[in-house]
């Protein structure tokens, strides 16, 4: 369908080499977009490129640490050099350090904030001139249930993900005149490397999530393909500044 068609569009997906980022990249690739897979791990980047190429997409890997401003700018330059333009940025790279607030070092706090939030701001800044040149574009920022709820082990993560939603709203208002829509996605509990560690670290987490999620299951990365296509395509041209849960109903059940 034309509304959701991404042929001729170019998307950068940070953390696109696994988990939710790869799930989103697969959706974009199936809708016709070319993809820049941006992550630190060369082997994971290469494997993701192969799986996206198998869907018929033009794909390049870019090794980048999104906490490094110069590297974020270089990533954007590489994408423009290869594909001539950028239309879509998905700020998905993220991490977590699960500890009670009193046990957190300042270095751990900065690590989480830098990786999850400051990186997204830097990538938005770096990509803005290219989106403007293209006559508009789409930015999708990945939040979390911790954008709206708190938890004893999530002071830094929650601050970064709450900040992601507020930053999304501010960028959406600033760049609406440039026809750039900026939205956030709030995944529920999704089975990825990140949460596999969480399930080992937090006793009973697996069962708690199952009991609280109306859909009765953990999410999988592919559950994010559809929302990525919607927010990256003309179908969402009048949607901006929102934060859309993709959570099997986790956030609407008491």
Q: Which residues bind ligand NDP (CB under 6 A)?
A: 14-15, 17-21, 39-41, 44, 64-67, 92-95, 115-116, 142, 144, 187, 189-190, 192-195
CA 97 to chain centroid, in Å, comes to 18
Q: Which helix (H) or strand (E) holds 36?
A: strand 34-39
CB of 199 to ligand NDP, least distance (A): 10
CB of 35 to ligand NDP, least distance (A): 13
Closest CA to 75 of 16, 163, 137: 16
Tokens of 34: 């070319």
Active-site residue identified among 157, 175, 189, 218 = 157
Taking the least distance from each CB to ligand NDP, the nearer of 64 and 156 is: 64
Taking the least distance from each CB to ligand NDP, the nearer of 195 and 240 is: 195
CB of 66 to ligand NDP, least distance (A): 4
Taking the least distance from each CB to ligand NDP, the nearer of 134 and 189 is: 189
Are 108 and 156 spatial neighbours (Cβ–Cβ below 8 Å)? yes
Tally: H helices and E strands in the chain: 9, 7
Would you call 157 a catalytic residue per the annotation? yes
Closest CA to 47 of 91, 16, 85: 16
Taking the least distance from each CB to ligand NDP, the nearer of 134 and 183 is: 183
Residues assigned a catalytic role: 157
């Amino acid at each position: 369908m034309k509304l959701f068609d991404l042929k001729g569009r170019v998307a950068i997906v940070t953390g696109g080499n696994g988990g939710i980022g790869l799930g989103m990249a697969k959706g974009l690739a199936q809708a016709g977009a070319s993809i820049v897979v941006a992550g630190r791990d060369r082997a994971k980047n290469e494997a993701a490129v192969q799986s996206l190429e198998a869907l018929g997409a033009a794909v390049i890997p870019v090794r980048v640490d999104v906490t490094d401003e110069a590297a974020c700018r270089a990533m954007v330059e590489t994408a423009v050099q290869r594909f001539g333009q950028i239309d879509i940025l998905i700020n998905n790279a993220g991490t977590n350090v699960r500890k009670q607030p009193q046990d957190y070092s300042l270095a751990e706090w900065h690590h989480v904030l830098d990786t999850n939030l400051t990186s997204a701001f830097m990538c938005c800044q770096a990509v803005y001139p290219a989106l403007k040149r293209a006559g508009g574009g789409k930015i999708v920022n990945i939040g979390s249930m911790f954008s709206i709820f708190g938890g004893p082990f999530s002071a830094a993560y929650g601050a970064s993900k709450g900040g992601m939603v507020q930053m999304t709203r501010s960028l959406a208002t600033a760049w609406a005149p440039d026809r750039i829509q900026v939205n956030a996605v709030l995944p529920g509990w999704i089975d990825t490397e990140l949460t596999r560690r969480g399930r080992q670290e937090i006793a009973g987490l697996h069962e708690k999530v199952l009991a609280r999620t109306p859909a009765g299951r953990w999410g999988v990365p592919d559950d994010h393909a559809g929302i990525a296509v919607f927010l990256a395509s003309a179908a969402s041209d009048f949607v901006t500044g929102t934060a859309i849960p993709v959570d099997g109903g986790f956030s609407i059940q008491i």
